[in-house]
Amino acid sequence: YQLLVPRGKYHGLMLEIKSPGKKPTLEQRTLLAVLGSQGYMAAWAAGFEDSWAIVENYMQLGEYTA
């Protein structure tokens, strides 16, 4: 999931959504780390509830300040 709306210190939110009980692969974790180093909030979530909580928290970071 990509939310290309800058908030706080981030250029956007990149979110890997997994089924509950599943985890991202090594390749997915590596990509999230690269995106994080390039100014994106990059995370993974297990299911809808976790995903929505991350999106809500991200949107509450306030205006882009970089």
**What pLDDT score was predicted for residue 52?**
97
Cα–Cα separations (whole angstroms), residue 48 to 17, 19, 62 = 8, 9, 23
The CA-CA-CA angle for residues 35, 41, 46, to 5°, reads 100
Q: Of 24, 62, 22, nearest to 14 (Cα)?
A: 24
Q: Which residues pair with 18 in a beta bridge?
A: 46
**Per-residue pLDDT, 42:** 98
pTM: 0.91
| Ranges assigned E (strand) in the chain | 2-3, 13-18, 41-46
The whole-number pLDDT of residue 66 equals 74
pLDDT truncated to tens, each residue of the chain (66 aa)? 999 999 999 999 999 999 999 999 999 999 999 999 999 999 999 999 999 999 999 999 999 997
The dihedral through the CA atoms of 26, 29, 31, 34 has a sign that is negative
